[in-house]
Amino acid sequence: MDFIFFNIIKSAKKFRALFLDLIFPIECLGCDREGEWLCDKCYKEIKLKPKQYCLHCKKENDLGDFCAPCKIIYDLDGVWIAALYDEVLISQAIKSLKYHFISGLAGELSKLLIVCLNKILEQRRILKSSLIDGVDWRIFKQTKNLPLAILNFSDNLIIPVPLSKKRWRWRGFNQAELLAKEVAEKYDLAIDKSNLIRIKHKKPQAKLNEIHRLENIKGCFNWQGGNLNKKNIILIDDVVTTGATLNECAKVLKANGAGEVWGLVVAKG
Ligand SMILES: [Zn+2]
Ligand SMILES: [Zn+2]
């Protein structure tokens, strides 16, 4: 019975993909050139966020971590943001992915996540080159302050921010999961797509202010896996606004033994 049901869903999805191809032929969101969702020329014109910052007070820094006074109110260690949502091509691409169900755009958007991560990781690379000449105390001190998620990058576990079942049924895929898969594959990191679940579908966050967002999202997630044994985690999502959702996930993961929890998102809304 389950098998028949699964096949019906699968055919329905195929039909939907075919139908969408007819009404949304593949053409560049920036210049309408046919054949790809974002052509090379338009892709190169996307402005990435030049510096990371503390998501709470917006003070710029290198690692996207929360500064000391802001840290107190977060379970999340920080957020790495690739671009700003004001960037027209970014907002168009994210909307097309989420609301026009153009899952092919996940590949393009994940490239931005990778560029962003590479930039963060460059700070660790400084160490490797200096190691050849012997460890300099200043470099040692500098890397001592690097978060473990960056220092031991290959040990991170990737987790996409989950959708509620209701939303998943409506969209047919989780955009965060598509992005997460690409990132995990690129860096050969472990990924867990099923154990962090969204148990409640609350009011949409978009119309709420920061305090109400934090309240609204409380108790929405559950971790079904075992103890995370200090594993560092990178949570992936398409957009961050106040960080309430990422923070609630971090809270649940840390309650289940996670070490550091960082967010990695395409855009700040
Ligand atoms: Zn183009
Ligand atoms: Zn701050």
Q: DSSP label at 205?
A: G
**Residue of higher predicted confidence among 138 and 258:** 258
236: tokens are 């992936």
Q: Which pLDDT value is given to residue 125?
A: 65
pLDDT at 3 over 70: no
Q: Are 239 and 265 in contact (CB under 8 A)?
A: yes
| Distance from C-alpha of 20 to C-alpha of 38, rounded to nearest angstrom | 17
Cα radius of gyration (the chain): 19
- The Cβ of residue 159 has, within 10 Å, a number of other Cβ atoms equal to 27
Q: Which pLDDT value is given to residue 35?
A: 87
Model confidence band, residue 18 (pLDDT cutoffs 50, 70, 90): low
Q: Which pLDDT value is given to residue 4?
A: 62
pLDDT at 253 over 60: yes
Q: Which ligand is nearest to the CA of 40?
A: 1
| Distance from C-alpha of 153 to C-alpha of 147, rounded to nearest angstrom | 10
Report how far ligand 2's centroid is from the alpha carbon of 109 (Å): 27
Q: DSSP label at 100?
A: S
Kindly report, residue by residue over 202-250, the tens digit of the pLDDT: 677 767 777 787 778 888 999 999 999 999 999 999 999 999 999 999 9
Q: Are 161 and 238 in contact (CB under 8 A)?
A: no
**Residue of higher predicted confidence among 206 and 253:** 253
HEC per residue, 116-179:
HHHHHHHHHHHHHHHHHCCCCHHHHHHHHCCCHHHHCHHHCEEEECCCCHHHHHHHCCCHHHHH
The widest CA-to-CA distance across the chain, in whole angstroms, is 65
Question: Which of 45, 80, 78, 53 lies closest to 267 in space, CA to CA?
Answer: 80
Report how far ligand 1's centroid is from the alpha carbon of 96 (Å): 15
Report how far ligand 1's centroid is from the alpha carbon of 186 (Å): 24
Report how far ligand 1's centroid is from the alpha carbon of 31 (Å): 4
pLDDT at 59 over 80: yes
pLDDT at 47 over 70: yes
Report how far ligand 1's centroid is from the alpha carbon of 93 (Å): 12
Task: Give pTM, 2 decimals.
Answer: 0.86
Q: Are 245 and 252 in contact (CB under 8 A)?
A: no
% helix, strand, coil for the chain, step of 5: 50, 15, 35
Q: Which pLDDT value is given to residue 124?
A: 74
- List residues, by chain if needed, whose CB lies under 5 Å from ion ligand 2: 54, 56-57, 67, 70
Q: In the predicted model, what is the mean pLDDT of residues 66-81?
A: 96
Which residues face 233 on adjacent strands?
A: 157, 261
**Residue of higher predicted confidence among 151 and 77:** 77
Q: Which ligand is nearest to the CA of 108?
A: 1
Question: Which of 42, 55, 52, 57 lies closest to 122 in space, CA to CA?
Answer: 52
Report how far ligand 1's centroid is from the alpha carbon of 36 (Å): 8
Q: DSSP label at 154?
A: G
Q: In the predicted model, what is the mean pLDDT of residues 157-168?
A: 93
Kindly report, residue by residue over 186-204, the tens digit of the pLDDT: 999 999 999 999 987 667 7
Portion of the chain with pLDDT greater than 90, in percent = 65
Model confidence band, residue 147 (pLDDT cutoffs 50, 70, 90): very high
| Distance from C-alpha of 131 to C-alpha of 205, rounded to nearest angstrom | 47
- List residues, by chain if needed, whose CB lies under 5 Å from ion ligand 1: 28, 30-31, 33, 39, 42
Q: Which pLDDT value is given to residue 123?
A: 79
Report how far ligand 2's centroid is from the alpha carbon of 73 (Å): 10
Q: Which ligand is nearest to the CA of 92?
A: 1
| Contacts for 234 with CB less than 8 Å, ≥ 6 apart | 149, 156, 157, 158, 159, 183, 189, 262, 263, 264
Instruction: Match 């855009």 to its residue by tokens.
Output: 267
**Residue of higher predicted confidence among 127 and 100:** 100
Model confidence band, residue 165 (pLDDT cutoffs 50, 70, 90): confident
Report how far ligand 1's centroid is from the alpha carbon of 91 (Å): 15
Model confidence band, residue 185 (pLDDT cutoffs 50, 70, 90): very high
Q: Which pLDDT value is given to residue 254?
A: 98
Report how far ligand 2's centroid is from the alpha carbon of 60 (Å): 9
Report how far ligand 2's centroid is from the alpha carbon of 262 (Å): 15
Q: In the predicted model, what is the mean pLDDT of residues 92-118?
A: 91
Q: How far is CA 247 from CA 62, 72, 161, in A?
A: 20, 12, 11
Question: Which of 120, 153, 114 lies closest to 232 in space, CA to CA?
Answer: 153
Q: Which ligand is nearest to the CA of 73?
A: 2
**Helix (H), strand (E) at residue 210:** helix 210-217
